[in-house]
Amino acid sequence: MPGQNIYFVSLGCPKNQVDTEVMLGQVQAAGHALCQAPEEADVIVVNTCAFIDQAKAESINTILEMAEHKKDRAQKLVVTGCLAQRYAEEIAHEIPEIDHILGSSDFPSIARAIAPGPRASAPGVGASAPGVGARAPGGAARRGKGRGKALPVIQVSDTPAYIYDHEAPRVRIGARHSAYVKIAEGCDRPCSFCIIPKLRGPQRSRSIDDIAAEVARLGAEGVKEVTLIAQDLTRYGWDLDGRPTLAALLRRLAGTPGIHWIRLHYTFPSAFTDELIDVIASEPTIASYVDVPLQHIDDGMLKLMRRGHSARVTYELVERLRARIPGVVLRSPFIAGHPGETDEAFAALKHFLAEVELDRVGVFPYSIEPGTVAAMLPNRVPPEVADARVAELLALQAEISQRKLARLVGQELEVLVEGVSEETDLLLEGRYYGQAPGIDGVVYLADGTAPPGAIVRARVTQAAEHDLAATLEL
């Protein structure tokens, strides 16, 4: 049977991107071809996100957009990821153009889902999401009836359990010199505002040997930068025999041939050990860049958010990191407008950002997530107030960021070249160790040329709120 043309849309976070890359590998291994436009596709796959309202809306709109292509050529539309995990029954009824729904850890069945032919269930593969619809007998995937039409096949495990390994086929997307490696999946923390444990299941870590094998292969393929990702990196290994630590993993990975930078996303503040700090400080390959989701600073808010630590822990962590890791760049996301956030609590957060001057900051308005503890809390903050607080904090951070970046003017930096700038073909674009891919600013490079993936030395000439300009003429 000839292979089909498959078109993928990947939405959401880097963890979702890794899942998409694994699906791409499985599809390709099954003899299908990957195409670059939905107009060329026999099957369209949408890997969705459902972390916040904006992400849900983007996922729904994308599914609807892709459903239009079934009118012309595409024969199947498959939806997977977090939205599928959480709202399988709803989207099955509301968007009957969908043929197959796979949960957040059921995507290894992608090759079966895209197989030619009518919609047909796959016994024993999955079940409907708890709280969304009735469970199929025996946990089997099933097809229902709605609006007089056959509904999509739904394969959604009650408790997500899959985590890929280094032997899983994978087709990376994006820059060839930079890659994400998921070292664990799921989360066990009880944060009040977060739905991730229900979408992704309990924490499950990969072994050090398995991760090391993947990173070694990436280095051999020309990857220069590896970003380690998980919902909670600092809890890595707690679920494995012998409880290997993140620090031990980093020691193992630090000498991998070909790998120039290893980044850490995301490290929980209360689990940051001295051993981990020492590894970051002593291993040149481990980028002196720490992404630590602080979320708030007011003790009352931290308790409501069920973060498990106090403001004192946060202040001490920042002090420890800066004292022991030369040139460390600190990044953190924060939430404004969480239920119970008073004017005083917000003022404490604003004071913290002004006082501590983190290098990179993201601020997001609180988003109600049904099924979370925060969704049931009183003392809601009006959305317009939350949005105003976000804008106020971002404006403050923009001033801090530009002031801190201005200190780099005149200095020489090591820069990983991304390629020709999207702003103008007269400049190259790259990043120094303090800029993570996709979320931070860039370095615009003038007065020279270098291929994507090259490591170059450049002198900083200008600084903006998030970006730097530099010359290759030293």
**CATH code: domain of residue 26:** 3.40.50.12160
* Listed residues 155, 186, 218: the one ending a domain: 155
Are 349 and 237 contained in the same domain?
Answer: yes
What's the average pLDDT block by block, 10 residues per block, for the chain (474 residues)?
A: 88 95 96 95 96 90 94 92 95 94 96 77 34 28 48 93 96 96 96 94 97 98 97 96 97 97 94 95 97 97 97 97 97 98 98 98 94 96 98 98 97 97 93 96 96 97 97 90
Q: Is 139 left (phi over 0), alpha (psi -120 to 50) or beta?
A: left
| Same domain, yes or no: 29 and 73 | yes
Query: 8 forms bridges with which residues in the sheet?
Result: 45
Cis omega (within 30 of 0) for bond into 315: no
205 and 99 housed in the same domain? no
Instruction: Assess whether 101 and 249 both reside in one domain.
Output: no
For residue 122, what are the domain limits? 5-155
- Measuring CA to CA, how many Å separate 474 from each of 133, 413, 418? 64, 11, 20
The CATH number of residue 427's host domain is: 2.40.50.140
One domain for residues 310 and 326:
yes
Judgement on whether residues 378 and 250 belong to the same structural domain of the protein? yes
In a domain, 205, yes or no: yes
The verdict on residue 167 lying in a domain is no
Q: How confident is the model at residue 120, as a pLDDT?
A: 45
User: Is 161 a domain residue?
Assistant: no
Q: Count the domains in the chain.
A: 3
Alpha-carbon distance of 175 to 453, in angstroms, equals 8
Cα–Cα nearest to 13, from 102, 64, 82: 82
The answer to the question of residue 297 being in a domain is yes
245 and 328 fall within a common domain: yes
Query: Do 264 and 311 belong together in one domain?
Result: yes
**In the listed set 122, 140, 155, which residue is the last one of a domain according to the structure?**
155
Give the contacts of 467 (CB within 8 A, at least 6 positions apart).
405, 441, 442, 443, 444
Q: Does the reported pTM lie above 0.75? A: yes
Q: Are residues 426 and 355 in the same domain?
A: no
Residue 148 lies in a domain: yes
Residue 466 lies inside a defined structural domain of this protein: yes
Last residue of a domain, one of 356, 377, 406: 406
Give the CA distances from residue 65 to residues 3, 107, 221, 378, 414, in Å, rounded to whole numbers and listed in that order.
24, 21, 35, 37, 42
